Amino acid sequence: MLNDWRARTILIFISGLIILFIAAPLLGMLLKPSLDDYKNTIADDAVARSIRLTLTASMGATLIFGVFSIPMAWLLARKNFPLKGLVNGIIDLPVVIPHSAAGIALLGIVSRGTLLGQAAEHAGISFVGGAAGIVIAMAFVSLPFAINAARDGFAAVPEKLEKAALNLGASPLRVFFTISLPLARRSVISGLVMMWARGLSEFGAVMIIAYHPMVTPILIWERFASFGLAYARPVAALYILICLAVFVILRLLSQRSYDVRN
């Protein structure tokens, strides 16, 4: 009994240290700026434009690339095919490689001298130095979160339910939308939320492709490099508060949707 108490105490102590390690720097940064600092930052047009751009670009990356990756996640969960392990490895690569290197790699296929870049220019889309470039940079580094979460969700769906529906005459498309996707929706939504959140924090890849217009992580860096910590901290603190609020709201909405349907 004493050993159990000691073990629990040690586990609680270690867990507390980990929580403190994560929370203490963030709380310190949030509490350091004065109320006037927050008011001035909120009134700063450059900060407001940057935050709007970051939120919408990350959401656009999630809606375009994340949503369209869901069928691929189902395929990876349900089918065996040659080089499947290689495909899974390629999907995880953006998480492993330095994001500045990811930006350079993307630049090699979307710059104005490439076929894709020229085609986009003819369509009136500019990847380099444009919002479209920010979207693809965010999507590139955050897409693995959506695919992996959705794949695990589909893998957890009992395959016998899908086969039973197919045997009863349902089409594969109907089975996907009425059985597979609804049962895996919690993991799918969680992956999309994580993809959106990861896109919000991207710095390296976005900086290479589109330094301007500035997303908030780049704006924070520029103010720190140009004016010092006192100018960068209020922007960082405000951005963290906004991201945290939106992230919590999305989590609560997804949880509420899941509870209602169950």
**Residue 37 pLDDT grade (very low, low, confident, very high; cuts 50, 70, 90):** very high
Q: Cα–Cα distances in Å, from 211 out to 69, 116, 134?
A: 27, 20, 9
Q: Say which residue, 64 or 249, is predicted with more confidence.
A: 64
pLDDT surpassing 90 at residue 2: no
Task: Please give the pLDDT value at position 251.
Answer: 73
d(CA 161, CA 178): 11
Architecture of the 37-261 domain: Orthogonal Bundle (1.10)
What per-residue confidence (pLDDT) applies to 160? Answer: 93
Task: Please compute, for residue 93, the number of CA atoms within 13 A of its CA located in the half-sphere on the CB side.
Answer: 11
Question: What are the tens digits of pLDDT across the range 47-58?
Answer: 999 999 999 999
Q: Closest Cα to residue 141, out of 201, 73, 223?
A: 201
Task: Tell me what the mean pLDDT of segment 252-256 comes to.
Answer: 69
Does the reported pTM lie above 0.85?
Answer: yes
Q: Hey, where are the domains in the chain?
A: 37-261
pLDDT value, residue 252: 78
Closest CA to 58 of 199, 204, 191, 215: 199
Q: Is pLDDT above 80 for 129?
A: yes
Mean pLDDT for the chain? 91
- State the Rg of the chain over Cα: 22
